[in-house]
Each structure stands twice: as C-alpha cells, then as structure tokens.
Chain A
Amino acid sequence: MNAPEKQPGMGASVRRKEDYRFLTGNGQYTDDVRVPGQTYAYFVRSPHAHAKIRKINKGAAMKAPGVLAIFTGEDLAADKVNGLPCGWLITDVKGQPMKEPPHPALAQGKVRYVGDQVAVIVAETYLQAKDAGELLEVEYETLPAVVDASDALNPGAPAVHDGVPDNRCYLWSLGDKAAVEATFAKAHQVTKIDITNNRMIPNAIEPRAALAHYHRGDDSYTLYVTSQNPHLERLLLTAFVLGLPEHKMRVIAPDVGGGFGSKIPLYAEETVIAWASKKVNRPIKWTAERSESFLADAHGRDHRTHAELAMDKDGKFLGLRVKTTANLGAYLSTLGSVVPTYLYGTLLAGQYTTPAIYVEVDAAFTNTAPVDAYRGAGRPEATYVLERLVSAAAREMRLDQAEIRRRNFITTFPYQTPVALQYDTGDYKACLDKAMKLADVAGFPARRAEAEKRGKRRGLGYSTYIEACGAAPSKIAGMLGARAGLYEAGEVRVHPTGSVTVFTGSHSHGQGHETTFAQVVAGRFGIPIESVDVVHGDTGRIPFGMGTHSSRSIAVGGSAIVKALDKIEAKGKKIAAHLLEAAETDIEFKDGKFTVAGTDKSVTFGQVALTAYVPHNYPLDKLEPGLNETAFYDPLNFTYPAGAHICEVEVDPDTGVVKIVNFSAVDDFGNIINPMIVQGQVHGGLGQGIGQALLENCVYDRETGQLVTGSYMDYAMPRADDLPSFKVGTHVTPCTHNPLGVKGCGEAGAIGSPPAVINAIIDALAPLGVTHLDMPASPERVWRAIQQAKRTKVA
C-alpha cells in the first residue's frame, strides 16, 4: 500500500477543546457524580502481606451508626460471583497454559498482599463506613511472605497460591534458541549486562473511583468508573464475573484524570460495589484515598534481566539472548500476563538488524499488588534492556555510541524481525541525525571540559527505541492468546443542520481526543471544529470499542472514524448527485462542497445534511434518509513509532546528584494531526521516563512484605524542577497501512527516555571506572558507584 497523502485538517496546533471545562472546574469525574440515595463503600484491606483469614466477626461493625451492609468473600462465593479474569492466555515453553489461580474480588480464606480486599462496608456516609471498618474483627494467621520474583521462584519459597506451589505462572520463550546459540559460538565479542527494571506505582492524578447504581425497575445497572476502556470493563464484569446479560449494564467512564495503564484492568472494588448495589438496593460510591491507590492500583514494570549480545569484529550484532524474571504480583491482573511476554519479547529487535534473538521470561506470583500495564507496558522494559546493552557494547568495542547504532540500523522496509513483528516503515538514521543536531553533540566535548573545570562530570546518553503501537490486528492477537478483539469502533452522526457528533470507542483521559478527532472530522467536511463534538466513555451511547491503551487511539480509533467519514462522504455524493442532477461518479467532495467535476455547480455539506433529514427532494426509492454512519476498524498491522533520545547529564561526584541539563527527543509518529498535543504527550512521557530513571521506586520490605513506599513521603514523583526544558522534534515516515498514516505518540517518551538517562550517567562516570547503574539513579547509588569504582581502581 502506498503511503497515504497528508489529510486535510491535519497539522494544526488547535487549542484543546476540552481544556475550557477542565480549567474552569467543570469537568465531571466519577467522584463528582451524585445520585439520589447514594451510599458509600469502604474497603477493609489486609494489613498483612500473606495470611490466612481465620474468622471475620461482623457483629460490632454492623451495629455502628449508618452501616447498611457488610460483605466478605464468603458472601460473594455464596452468590456465585466469579473471580476477576485475566484477558490474555499465555502458553508456556512446554505448550502448557499459564497457571491462573483464582482472583476473588474479596479475599476468600487467605490474603496475599498488603491492601488485598477483605471486606466491604456500605454505609450512609463514607466516614461512617470507615469508622465501622475499624470495628470489623478479622482474625489472621500470618504466613511468611515473598515479594521479590527471584525469591519467589527459589525452591522452598512460601507459595502465594496453594495451587501454584512453585509460584511460577509461566516460563515463556520467543525466538530461535538454536540459531542464537550458533551466533554466540562464532562471536568476536559478547557484551553482557544484568539490570533491574524498577517497580513503578502509576499515580494518576485522579484516584480510582466507582459509582454503581442498580435499577430495580428493569433489573439493570449503571456503573460510573474510572476506566480507560468501559466496554471491556462491562464485558468482563457482566459476562465473566457477575453472570449478567451485557445489555443490562451501562458503564460510563466520564472525565478521567489520567490512566497510564492503571485504569485498564477490571478491579475488585467496582466489581464488589456493582454486585452489592443490588444487594442493598441503593447506589454505592467508592473513591480511593491516595494511600489506597499506592496499595491497590496495579503496579508497573518490576523485571530483572540478564542479557547478552554477540557481535562480529565490526560491532555488527549477530545474536541476542535475554533471560528475564518478571513479577506479576499476587494475582493475574487483566493484562498482567501479556505485558512481560508479547508486549516485551517482540520488541527486542529494536531498530537493529540482529538476525537471531531468543528471550525467556520466568513470571512469578509474589505477595505484592498485581502488576499490569504502565505507560509503554513491556516496551519500555525491552528498550531498556536493548539500549543499555548496545551502549555497553559500544564502550566495550570502543565504538562511538551513534556509530554502533548506525552500523546496525534497519534501513529497508518492510522488515521482518526474528521476534514476530514486521515493521512497515521508519527512518532511524534520520531521527538520530536530527536528534544529534538538536542535542548539539558536536559541542559536547567543550561542555564536558567546562563542567570538569567546575568539578562536575558530564555525559551523553543515547537511546534509539522502537515500539509497537496501535494494538492490534485481532487475528494475530487471538493467535497469541488474547481473549478479546482489538479493533475500534467509530460512529459519525451528521445532524440536520450540518454539525457533527462523533462517537468513539477510544477513551480520552488526558490525551486530547476531543480536539484531535474533531480536527480530523472538521478538516474532512470543511466545517469549523466548533461544529464537531466527540463523545466517548459511555457504553450506552457508543458502539462496542476497546478503549485507549498501547498508543492505539489515533491509529485504530482514528481509522475507524475515517472509515465512517468515508461512508458519509459516499452517501453525501449520492445525495449531491441527485440534487445537482448529475452522475454520482462525477461528484467531487472538497473544502466542504460537493461539486460536479469541471463545473461550478455545487452544493454545500450543510445542504446535503439538511436534505438527508428533510428528504422532500430525495431519491427515497434508492437511498435511506439520514446521515449517520458507523464503522469498525481492525488494523492490518501494529504501527511502529520510533525515535532517538539523547540525554545530557551533569553529575556532582561529591554527592552523586544527577542533573539533566539537556534532553533532546526526535520521534517518528507518522503523520501528526495536532503538533501541540503530540508535544504535550512527549513531554509527559519523558517526565515519567525520567521519573523512573532518577526518582521513582516501589519498595516492599523483603521480610514483612509491607509497602515501604506507601506515600509521597517516600515514593518520589518527578516535579517540574526535576526536569529540563525538553528539546523535541519529529521526523515523519507515514504509517503505510492506516488511512491517516499515523502511528501514535502516547508512550514514546516513557519508552525511549530511561536508558538515555542511565547511559548518560554511565558515560559521565566512565572515566572514573563506572560501568553499571540501576534505576532509579538516586544520589546515593551514583555516589556508591563512584566509590566502588575508585576502590576497584586502587585494587
């Protein structure tokens, strides 16, 4: 397929339509929704990482003021409520299905992490429910806990689930092991690294919340919930967990304040209150306190990896082998199983022509919060492994960091990697060249020398990343174990007076879809952007869609809208042909006008719309009235955004403090609809990536299993003054297989930046003998690496 031409309406930094309501406090978040008769839920959570529940005595709590009901796991079991399902079945190296222990919405007999839901208390007010929670008597028998994935896989480790005595969910592999071994046998040089991808707590600014409302009149439910994918939420909740007909539940994800993946999963809390709202026949609201978000939101990352790269004498990559241990937490979250496998191993080719790759992933249950997608989901982990390894290889081969990359870049497309993916397009060298200009690499030696005069160390770090976005071709996903399709739906409703409402299955929780999608529609129809509204996040209003994650919204959701626009245009041509008394094939549509080719005879888009709804002069014998079209789009391939990130740091060797003095990112997102929004996405992604590299770290106590970083006092979120003023640019190679030529931009910043930062620090300290650092590169870690290197040098 040829690259699509630039679409009208694309490329303008239109101000975000949604910002007026957000900036004026008129957003409507789940917690803002209030319905008559609303009650409140408080979840009693496990204070222990691992314990048997001996007894729960509801007596005193039930007598507390305002309490309406208390439910435990036993009550759910008695009502035959199923556990929370996992959305992706992984098949292990022996062809066996992964271990899927039950994931009850309220603990049954045992708690498996600090924060695990033990009981729900429903009361007239939230404080009453919380007060009663302190009176609930739960008798625990504590058990030894294991929080580290490697520890969990050791023989004799405490079993998180009785049915999985070795704690291994699966041992999975991808690639040709024998071919890889052969490349290592003939390698000139093998570079090896052992690295940790630190565990993250997502920290969306809006905590999770839900409001469940059972309607006795028609035995139906309305569930407001902070979700990135309301249809998926409904499907899992009704068909898999509660055993309800899908049409009896309307799920609304209204304004949502950030997701980053943590609002993809179906969680216990909304499940329990949806069920309980029928039991108490009252609407029930639950809003997480921030402390609960730390404990019970799905966490991200948490990998430990050994990786080896085989090279020939010129630094050409011959083979890559990777062994990763992944922490899944106590239970399989909705996408917990796929993040460290198909979203990780498939990305290990990166931008390079490495002909043979083999990866093994050992995934363990531990007594920690479930781990699921977090901005990038698997792809940052793959990029971190590869870009750390490539930088180490360059140092060992005494090759320039840019040069080793250039020698190995893929330059012809389409390109079939040895790990399943086929890249459609890209120009990695162009991105790198642009990034090096932006970063003023040529001027770096002078800046380094100047810093050294002040006693500081400067370093430059590279990361040339790729990601697979626009998930996903349903057929491929299905073959790999997905339990759902991954198309997207769009409906375009042209109103009689020519304004338009777009209904999309994508969900915006900060991405600016209401503007970007409106730009696509307004540009196509030649109407003002103010005439287009975008509706999302309501299963009662929009066709079945798969929501927003994997940087998929514009590539998949946008394409569905374009397909609906195509149908509108085709029908509009028929109506125009009738009005203009011309042949349909002679009608051209441009700049909001249907014109008979080669003449000045035309009708406007508005006239056509009005005619469709007031069909007095209309070919009713051949054409239905109305102008309202729906389309579903299933992508032909993933999209492959890629780019080059270059980080420049200055390290204070006396304290270990790292300051990012420059960060340059050149990304190829394909065609760009709104550069300002894209830039915002890149800035946010870089912020999160730098947060992971320098600051953020989720720590559980290895003995007790308590969450040590349970608040902002100990979990370091990046702040504005931790970040530099970013230099960002783009290079465009349009995606070849979707109608807009777009690739997606939401995760790139978080994927590309962490290795750039760490590589820069290592580059700065390499003259002192430092060769390795783990994230987060806290001042003490950096200082210790310097001390260690000094000692090694002396010895």
Chain B
Amino acid sequence: MYAFEFHRPKNVSEAAALLAKSKGKLIAGGQTLVGTLKLRLASPGNLIDLGGIGELRGIKREGNAIVIGATTRHAEVAQSPEVRKAIPALADLAGGIGDRQVRNMGTLGGSVANNDPAACYPAAVLGLGATVHTNKRTIAADDFFKGMYETALQADEIVTAISFPVPKRAAYIKFCNPASRFALVGVFVSQGASGVRVAVTGAASSVFRASEMEQALTKNFSPDAVKAIKVDPGRLNSDLHASAEYRSHLIIVLTGRAVAQALGQ
C-alpha cells in the first residue's frame, strides 16, 4: 500500500467537495478498494471515507419501494425484516455475497458504484428496475451500468441510496466461481409492476438484461418457458473457470431455476 491522505467528511456535500477538489477515491466498506491498495494496483493520493456520514446508512419502506442507503452493509440488508418481508430475493442475495467478513463491511453503494462484472448487487438493481439516487440526480438502473467497472456516475458524483420497487415475485440464483465465490453466473428474475425483468451478472463484461427470456416469461412465467432459448455465447466471458458456451448454458438453467424459486416451486 502506498501512502495517502485520509479524509472523513461528516456529510454528503462535504464529501462531494473533497472529491471534486482532491480527485481522490471514495471508500465505503473498502472490500474491493483495500485489497487493490494492498496489492499496489491503485495509488490514490486521497481517500474520502463515507463511513462517518449517518444520512447514507439505513433501510426504509417508502410507498411501494424499499430504499436502502448507500453505505448500508450487506449484512444489514440480509438481516433486515423490512427487506425480508418486501423483497426476500434481495435479502437472500445480500446474505450470499462473499463471506461473513465481507458482508459485515461491504456496502450496497460501494458494490453498485464499482460495478464488478461478477458482483451480485448489480443484478438486483437491474433485475428489479431500481433507481439509483446520487447527490446530483436519480438514475434508472437501465441507464446506470455502462460496462466493465463503468457506470453513469460522474467524477464527483456520490451514490446516496437505491430505491428498489417491490415486485410481485422475484428470485436470485448465483452459481459461484469455485475459487472466488463471486458469481460465475448469477440470474435475478422479477415479475412486478414494470413487467418481467431478467438480469444476468458474472457472465459478460457487465450486468445485462436477457430480453429474449423476459419476452418469453412475460408470455408464460414458468421455468419451461425459457428452456428452448439459446443465449449467444459471443458476448459472454470465457476464462479459466467457465467458457462462454458453458456460461450461456448456465444462464438458461439458472433462469429456469430462478423462475421456479420465485414461484415458490
């Protein structure tokens, strides 16, 4: 790790000002950034810690949505009765991220802003059609994830909360990379006011929606509806742990299973 200046602002505007001025990095749970720093793969001159900003943390129900503050930890989401009651798939997803230590430190905002191609939360944000709130604006999930580790966030923009509409039913199934336990493929399926959404993580350079399956499931929300669909492996990742062909096969299998789980089968 290289030396850096550490800042701990008390509110979002102070954090934004520091960010704009210092060109530093925001740190929330640090579950990706600290490892990167220790391996000397990043050397930000300034680290701006969001941990002291109370307004960024917490879970509340607002109308037909669950709103979760950006620095709310995975363990808090997993254990929240509010989330469990409204969107059990989201509580399950949070409870399956990393390990206990990661869940006690890692945050929703950190995960979403980092947009790791194999992270779980982006699948929930996209799969539920959530809205990302920042210190400047609101961004629809469909406009937020831009590519590998890329989002719509501007350089001095800070995620403050994410609002998840409560679906009629939803489920997330993660197929773990046996080494890292990140998603080799993860599929989030939901059926709600805005229709059927299927979001896939782990399989490509960034989380994406599987539109062909959404259409099939819109017609018939049952596991069998997706069985005959083929996912083009052309856009999928091939690596040590899974070929694109295997990933494309898993997407179909996992989507079917997620639908079954959402239906309580």
Q: Which of B39, B180, B250 contacts A714 (CB 8 A)?
A: B180
Closest Cβ–Cβ distance, residue B47 to chain A (whole Å):
17
B246 touches A780 (CB 8 A): yes
Contacts A708-B240, A780-B241; A713 near B253 (Cβ below 8 A): no
Residues of B within 8 A of A722 (CB): 178
Nearest CB in chain B: distance from A710 CB, A: 11
In the complex, are the beta carbons of B178 and A695 less than 8 A apart?
Answer: yes
Q: Does A712 contact B (CB under 8 A)?
A: yes
Chain A contact residues, majority secondary structure: loop
Given contacts A654-B253, A709-B240, A780-B243, contact A715 B39 (CB under 8 A): no
Is the Cβ of A783 less than 8 Å from the Cβ of B178?
A: no
Q: Would you call A714 and B240 a contact (CB within 8 A)?
A: yes
Q: How many chain B residues touch the partner (CB < 8 A)? A: 14
Would you list which residues of chain A between 705 and 726 have a CB under 8 Å from chain B? Answer: 708-709, 712-717, 722
Q: Which residue of A lies closest to B250 (CB)?
A: A655
A693 → chain B closest CB, angstroms: 12
Q: Tell me, in angstroms, the Cα distance from A732 to B242 when the chains sit together.
A: 45
Bound-state Cα–Cα, A694 to B179, Å: 11
Answer yes or no: B7 CB below 8 A from chain A CBs: no
Q: State A655–B182 Cα separation when bound (angstroms).
A: 17
Bitwise, B234-248 to A at CB < 8 A (1) or not (0) is 000000111100100
Query: How far, in Å, is B2 (CB) from chain A's closest CB?
Result: 8
Residue pair B175, A655 in contact (C-beta under 8 Å):
yes
Using A291-B39, A655-B253 as known contacts, say yes or no to A714 and B241 having CB atoms under 8 A apart: yes
Give bound CA distance, A655 to B178, whole Å. Answer: 13
Closest A residue to B184 by CB, please name it: A779
Question: Is A422 in contact with chain B by the CB < 8 A criterion?
Answer: no
Does the CB pair A778–B179 fall under 8 Å?
A: no
Cβ contacts A765-795/B at 8 Å (1 or 0 each) = 0000000000000111001100000000000
Residues of A within 8 A of B243 (CB): 780
Contact A780 B242 (CB under 8 A): yes
Residue among B175, B178, B250 making CB contact with A716, cutoff 8 Å: B178
Query: Roughly how many angstroms separate A695 CA and B177 CA in the complex, as a whole number?
Result: 10
A residues 181-215 near B (Cβ < 8 Å) are none
Name B240's contact: one of A654, A694, A699, A784 (CB within 8 Å).
A699
Contacts of A695 in B (CB 8 A): 178-179
Please measure, in the bound complex, the distance between the C-alpha atom of A132 and the C-alpha atom of B246, giving whole angstroms: 45
B146 contacts chain A at the CB level, 8 A cutoff:
no
Given the complex of chains A and B, what is the CA–CA distance between A454 and B174 in angstroms?
20
B94 to chain A, nearest CB (A): 18
Most B-side CB within 10 Å, residue of A708, A715, A716: A716
- CB pair A716 B246 closer than 8 Å: no
Q: How far is the CB of A100 from chain B (nearest CB, A)?
A: 34
A715–B179 contact, CB under 8 A? Answer: yes
Check A712–B253 contact: CB distance below 8 A.
no
Judged by a CB distance under 8 angstroms, whether B61 is at the interface is no
Within 682-738 of A, Cβ neighbours of B (below 8 Å) are at: 694-695, 699, 708-709, 712-717, 722
Q: Quick one: which of A604-656 are within 8 Å of B by CB?
A: 654-655
Q: Once bound together, how far apart are the Cα atoms of A712 and B98, in whole Å?
A: 13
| Residues of chain A at the chain B interface (Cβ within 8 Å) | 291, 654-655, 694-695, 699, 708-709, 712-717, 722, 778-780, 783-784
> 18 A-B residue contacts at CB 8 Å?
A291-B39, A654-B253, A655-B175, A655-B250, A695-B179, A708-B240, A712-B179, A712-B180, A713-B182, A714-B241, A715-B179, A722-B178, A779-B246, A780-B241, A780-B242, A780-B246, A783-B246, A783-B249
Measuring CB to CB, which residues of chain B are less than 8 angstroms from any residue of chain A?
A: 39, 175, 178-180, 182, 240-243, 246, 249-250, 253
Those 8 A-B pairs whose CB atoms lie nearest each other, nearest first:
A716-B179, A716-B178, A713-B180, A780-B246, A654-B253, A714-B179, A780-B242, A695-B178
Q: 15 additional contacts, CB 8 Å, given A712-B180, A714-B240, A780-B242?
A: A291-B39, A654-B253, A655-B175, A655-B250, A655-B253, A695-B179, A712-B179, A713-B179, A713-B182, A716-B178, A717-B179, A778-B178, A778-B241, A780-B243, A784-B246
